[in-house]
Chain A
Amino acid sequence: MAKPRYVALTTGVPVFLLLCYALLPWLWMVLSSFRPESDLTQSPIAIMPSTLTLANHIQLLARTSFASSLRDSIIVASSSVVIGLAMAVPAAYAFSRFRFAGRRALQIQFLVINMFPVVMLILPIFVILRALNLLDTYLALIMGHATFTLPFAIWMLTSYINGIPQELDQASMLDGATRLQAMLLVVLPLAAPGIVAVGLYLFLTSWNEYLFALMLTGRNVRPVTVALQMFIGENQVSWGLLMAGGTVVSIPATVFFLFAQKHLVGGLTGGAVKG
């Protein structure tokens, strides 16, 4: 039995330092967003704020186009979830329930996608979408995000559906259900926790994404990650607006991870553990 004081020293102190390292940079941004602009343009900066204010957030939402960017990001991220799941769920079901020629090759094919550097793909994608007149539309970005998260979504859902006994599908099909009904009415409800976890992951990935958003959008559609860069001017940086925007943009990441992390963490890192 270790002495309590010894434990406080060898575990408590490192844990405290760890929390500081993990949280303080982000908290410093959040705190800065609530400080008046005069605080943020004072050098050297004071650690304690002079007052706390919502001025930056109000200016961000009322005086800039950030609100419409928020709407764009919400539309793109939610649609990526819907389209991504619509493609991934049947694919995962097929991989889980059928043994067919080329199954292994197709599974590997989906993993290979992850290996190509984005920089290798982005230019042709830009050219294709320009030819199809789809640049600067919701659809372009939604399809981009939904497709590039497919490998992960299919892989996670396949292992999840593998955990649901096949006898359930077979029993319902003996009772007269079609394959589609078996999938939609029997397997999907049981796979709901896995589907929710993958859905959250898809939302977060799309919401956080920058390079596609930068390349494929323009005046009409401008997700928050791209919009934030607008506040960095040629000569001047509006730190107050940037900090407020950064705080708003980081809401999904912090909320999802603090409240649903059990589901998400397993998924995000499971690939490495399994290998």
Chain B
Amino acid sequence: MKRSATPLLMLAPALTATGILVFFPVLNTLWLSLHNVVLFRPKSQPFVGLANYVEALHSQAFWDSLGRSVVWVVGSVSLQFLIGLGVALLLNRDFRMRGLVRAIIVVPWALPSVIIGLVWTWMLDFNFGILNQIGVAFGLLDEPVAWLAQSGTAMAAVMAAIVWQGFPFFAITLLAGLQSIPHDLYEGAEIDGANAWYTFVYVTVPGLLPVMVTALLLRMIWVANSLDLILVMTGGGPGTSTQTLPLHAFLTAWSGGNYGSGAALSTLLTLILLSVITIYVVRGQVDG
């Protein structure tokens, strides 16, 4: 008897905290999403079934924000992945001070999102931004661009910031993956006379694939959920040009005071992410 009680006692504090601050809120959000709850009418919260979901799926704002989320996730994650892969391949070579370089490139990853937003807002500023100045000086830009204040460029500007934040994650993860590929595979390829490209395609990529897929999935979920960087840099604007799905849900509930709709939107986001994860897990089991 005592044997079975001890571990549960040890787990009790952690379980209680997650119960109150994670699982109860999840259930509460599900409950809210089925009711018409608005900030300025706290007493009346009628059950409305799936009306909030139907309303969301019929609204242009939902599909627009979902589309922006797809651009945000696919665009920025593929860029940070490609840069990270390049950096990992570079750091996998032997050179002096490699450890120091590895330590330095992790700094963007460790910085708070607020600082990342600040750094890039400052560099992209219309009047005082260094990037505008460099662009004009080198003839890349005819005149300074108000990157964050134009709906056509704001998304790209925020993506530049999150790519900078996220590339070290891929660099370090893929580097660890590269270093776990057995050395004799490379020796074998060399003996067979394979050139660098063939070695990359037939040894490096297959060896790295499991790490690549997991890192991509983790980072995609992360980026899909993230709203702090966008909140800090543009607040979703100008207009709604950087309003991704989580931000749309957040603003609907928070600024709009419409808790029911906001809850339905964030539940939809969760369901979309859950289906992506499920496909990954099921596929992984079939493959593995």
Find chain A residues with CB under 8 A from B14 CB.
87-88, 90-91, 110, 150, 154
Besides A47-B133, A210-B112, A228-B114, 11 new A-B residue pairs in contact (Cβ under 8 A), listed by A number: A22-B108, A25-B119, A45-B128, A97-B7, A128-B25, A209-B112, A225-B112, A243-B118, A246-B118, A254-B110, A256-B110
Query: Nearest B residue to A258 by beta-carbon distance?
Result: B103
Interface residues of A in 211-266 (CB under 8 A from B): 211, 225, 228-229, 239, 242-243, 246, 249-250, 253-254, 256-258, 261, 264-265
Q: Are A273 and B211 in contact (CB under 8 A)?
A: yes
Q: Interface size class for chain A?
A: 35 or more
Residues in chain B near residue A272, CB distance under 8 A = 173, 211, 214-215, 218
Residues of B within 8 A of A268 (CB): 109, 169, 172
Is A174 part of the binding interface, using a Cβ–Cβ cutoff of 8 Å? no
A122 and B210 alpha carbons, distance in the complex (Å): 33
A175 to B138 alpha-carbon distance, docked (Å):
75
B residues in contact with A164, CB < 8 Å: none
- Chain B residue nearest to A273 (CB atoms) is B176
- Residue interface mask B93-121, A partner, CB < 8 A = 1: 10100000111111111111111001110
Instruction: Specify which of B113, B118, B123, B224 is in contact with A242 (CB 8 Å cutoff).
Output: B118
Q: Is A1 an interface residue (CB 8 A)?
A: no
Is A79 an interface position by the 8 A CB rule?
no
B249 surroundings in chain A (CB, below 8 A): 119-120
Binds A, one of B47-55, B70-78, B183-191, B259-267: B259-267
Pick the residue among B25, B109, B172 that contacts A121 (CB under 8 A): B25
Q: Report Cα–Cα, A28/B129, bound state, in Å.
A: 11
Chain A residues with Cβ under 8 A from B279's Cβ? none
* Minimal beta-carbon separation of B119 from chain A (angstroms): 5
Query: Given A117-B270, A123-B263, A208-B113, is A128 in contact with B22 using a C-beta cutoff of 8 Å?
Result: no
> Does B277 reach chain A (CB closer than 8 Å)?
yes
The reply to whether A91 and B253 contact each other, CB–CB distance below 8 Å, is no
Per the CB 8 Å criterion, the residue count for chain B at the interface is 89
- Does A18 make an interface contact (CB < 8 A)? yes
- Nearest neighbor of A16 in chain B, beta-carbon distance: B101
The B257-288 residues at the A interface (CB cut-off 8 A) are 259, 262-263, 266-267, 269-270, 273-274, 277
Partner of A116 from the list B10, B112, B127, B270 (CB cut-off 8 Å) is B270
- Determine the distance from Cα of A176 to Cα of B76 in the docked complex, in whole angstroms: 57
Give the docked Cα–Cα distance between A32 and B14 (Å): 43
Q: Does residue B28 face the partner (Cβ distance < 8 Å to A)?
A: yes
Which residues from chain A contact B13 at a C-beta distance below 8 Å? 86-87, 90-91
Majority SS at the chain A contact face: helix
- Chain A nearest Cβ from B117, distance in angstroms: 9
Q: Which of B90, B132, B225 contacts A18 (CB 8 A)?
A: B90
Stretch at the interface among A49-57, A141-149, A186-194: A141-149
Q: Collect the chain A residues with CB atoms within 8 Å of residue B11's CB.
A: 90-91, 94-95, 106
Distance (Å) between the CB of B215 and the closest chain A CB? 4
Residues of the A chain whose Cβ atoms lie less than 8 Å from the Cβ of B232: 210, 229
0/1 interface trace, chain A 70-89, chain B, CB 8 Å (1 if under): 00000000000000001110
Q: How many Å from the CB of A206 to the closest CB on chain B? A: 10
**Chain A 13-54, CB within 8 Å of chain B: the 1/0 string?**
011001101110110110010000000111111010000000
| Chain B residues whose CB sits within 8 angstroms of the CB of A19 once the complex forms | 101, 104-105
Complex Cα spacing A264 to B120, Å: 25
Task: Report chain A residues within 8 Å CB of B127.
Answer: 43
Chain A CB within 8 A of B140 CB: no
Does chain A have a CB within 8 A of B44?
A: no
Contact indicator B128/A239 (Cβ below 8 Å): yes
Tell me whether A115 and B18 are in contact in the complex, defined as CB-CB below 8 angstroms, given that A11-B90, A90-B11, A98-B6 are known contacts: no
Q: With A117-B270, A272-B214 given, is the CB distance from A229 to B114 under 8 Å?
A: yes
**Chain A residue contacts of B250, Cβ below 8 A:** 119, 122
The answer to whether B227 touches A119 (Cβ under 8 A) is yes
| B198 at the binding interface (Cβ < 8 Å) | no
Q: Does A138 contact B (CB under 8 A)?
A: no
Listed residue (B110, B132, B270) with the most chain A CB atoms within 10 angstroms of its CB: B110
Q: Are B273 and A120 in contact (CB under 8 A)?
A: no
